[in-house]
Amino acid sequence: MWRRVSSLTQFVSPTKSSSILNQPAYTLKIWESFTTQLPNLEKGGISFKDRIPFITFVLGGPGSGKGTQCEKIVETFGFKHLSAGDLLRQEIASESEYGSMILNTIKDGRIVPSEVTIKLIQKEMESSDNKKFLIDGFPRCEENRVAFEQIIGAEPNIVLFFDCPAEEMVKRVLNRNQGRVDDNMDTIKKRLEVFEELNLPVVNYYAEKGKLHKICALGTEDEIFEQVWPVFAACKQLIQ
Ligand code: UDP
Ligand code: MG
């Protein structure tokens, strides 16, 4: 059934721009400005009000179908869907302090500083009555992953990875017509570079930990969900 691992080579330029891929230094200042506002930082975790959370990270390149499959998982298994990209876009729309920085970062196909994204995810997790979370499009780099563990004080129970050939992802993104500032060929190329260089190491990390469930993201929505369903069905005890 398994076809092949995404081949990004034709979309990723041989000389990678360090300004795109060199992210961590950029996060330090933001971290300082957020430390006083992160309520549970000292405790190293957030309160789930006596609930044991079940956390799923949903990873995959741009256009690999993460959001579409998340909707199906929500319908079937009752998860709370937190799309990191959507939370960031809402933040831009609300014209918050960090809105223009987030907009410029997304336009460039780079990764928003961990603390900003995690703060938005944390707010949603804390205010939800649900204990089952689908965190879609995050973590996008090792630094995101480590920061999440430190700030939220939890690791994902499982990680889904939607594996899709680059040419298919490009086709889907260019055809989806959602009016997104980053759905153009220039930004897609950068997003694919960032995906390969920074996101795939996170995928590999969870594969080594035995938490990764690789899904072949080619086919109809229902065909893909046929691979997703058994992953959650096998966790029935924890998610009912
Ligand atoms: N993004 C980010 N951190 C995240 C999630 C998203 O910085 O945790 C930014 C990043 O610039 C990315 C963009 O938001 O390219 C869009 O992300 P989304 O997951 O919505 O789209 P995808 O690239 O998966 O189609
Ligand atoms: Mg999405």
CA 198/CA 111 separation, integer angstroms = 9
Determine the Cα–Cα distance for residues 79 and 76; give it in Å rounded to an integer.
Answer: 8
Q: Is residue 13 part of a domain?
A: no
Structural domain range at position 231: 52-239
**Beta strands in the chain, from DSSP E residues, in sequence order:** 54-60, 80-83, 132-136, 158-163, 212-216
Statement: residue 9 has pLDDT above 70:
no
Instruction: Output the pTM of the full model.
Output: 0.86
| pLDDT at res. 97 | 93
pLDDT of residue 22: 52
Q: What is the mean pLDDT of residues 67-88?
A: 98
Note whether residue 220 is domain-resident. yes
Residue 11 lies in a domain: no
Taking a C-beta distance cutoff of 8 angstroms, is the pair 191, 62 a contact? yes
| Dist. CA 230–CA 72, nearest whole Å | 13
Q: Is residue 15 part of a domain?
A: no
The predicted pLDDT at position 36 comes to 33
The response to whether residue 198 sits with its C-beta less than 6 Å from ligand 1 reads no
Residue 2 pLDDT > 50: no
- Count the domains in the chain: 1
Instruction: Judge if the beta carbon of residue 91 lies within 6 A of ligand 1.
Output: no
Q: Is residue 173 part of a domain?
A: yes
What is the spatial distance between Cα 85 and Cα 102, in angstroms, rounded to a whole number? 10
Question: Left if phi > 0, otherwise alpha if psi is -120 to 50, otherwise beta: which for 51?
Answer: beta
- For position 162, what pLDDT does the model report? 98
In a domain, 44, yes or no: no
pLDDT at residue 148 is higher than 60: yes
What is the rounded average pLDDT for all residues in the chain?
87
**Residue 31 within a domain:** no
What CATH number does residue 74 fall under?
3.40.50.300
Residue 16: inside a domain:
no
Ligand 1: centre distance to CA 50 (Å): 31
| Interatomic CA distance for residues 148 and 134, integer angstroms | 14
More confident residue, 100 or 25: 100
Q: Among the atoms of ligand 1, which is closest to the Cα of residue 63?
A: 25
Q: CB of 82 closer than 6 A to ligand 1?
A: no
Residue type, 40: N
What pLDDT, in 10s, does the model give residues 13-60? 444 444 556 554 344 334 333 333 334 444 457 777 677 899 999 999
The dihedral built from the CA positions of residue 62, 70, 199 and 35, taken in this order, carries a sign that is: positive
pLDDT tens for residues 156-202? Answer: 999 999 999 999 999 999 999 999 999 999 999 999 999 999 999 99
Ligand nearest to the CA of 187: 1
